[in-house]
Amino acid sequence: MGSRVIDIQEVAWAAGFFDGEGCTTRSSHRNGVSRPPNLTVTQVDRRSLERFQAAVAGMGVIRAVRRRADPRQRDQHVWVTTNWIQTQAVIALLWKFLGPGKREQAHWAFRVWIAARVAREARRMMCRNGHPKAAAGERCRRCAVGQTLRWRAKNRARYTAYMREYGRRRTASRQYARAPN
């Protein structure tokens, strides 16, 4: 971790560095898991990434990237944000000094991610027949009533028998309750 003090000159340098070497990745969806966008800067020289990390208040992590495919290529290092809050914080910090290209890239990646989250929340608030729910994860009341009515229509005989049985039991328990000690 680098320094946590914000040095505005270093922030300006970091924004220029990010403009040239950095990237806002797009959100992804893999194995049922949605991942937010993150920021990455890839370099052979780890020291410039350490300077960058210090400039952004020590946020993000630096990892080694091995390039086994081609032995002539040198190992690289990547600075990367590790969560959505951090990604937003670093972009906000650099924003004033960022060029239009990197601003637009971040803007769209963030927009797509936020829209996907809003859509997911909206889906959770709706049953599969499109009825609105009072709370996420709750059973749809309108569909539950419909199911009951359909079951009754299909099983009219069983339903009638059940109601008769239920009525008898209720009468019996009432008589029992009224019975003198």
Interacting residues with Zn ion (CB under 5 A): 127, 129, 131, 140, 142-143
Nearer to Zn ion, 141 or 168 (CB): 141
Nearer to Zn ion, 23 or 143 (CB): 143
Contact 76, 44 (CB under 8 A): yes
Nearer to Zn ion, 122 or 163 (CB): 122
Own/partner contacts of 84-89, CB < 8 Å, gap of 24 or more, are: 84/36, 84/37, 84/113, 86/59, 86/60, 87/24, 87/36, 87/37, 87/38, 87/39, 89/59
Contact 90, 60 (CB under 8 A): yes
Nearer to Zn ion, 62 or 143 (CB): 143
CB 128 to Zn ion: min, Å = 7
CB 158 to Zn ion: min, Å = 25
CB 140 to Zn ion: min, Å = 3
Residue with tokens 């290092």: 77
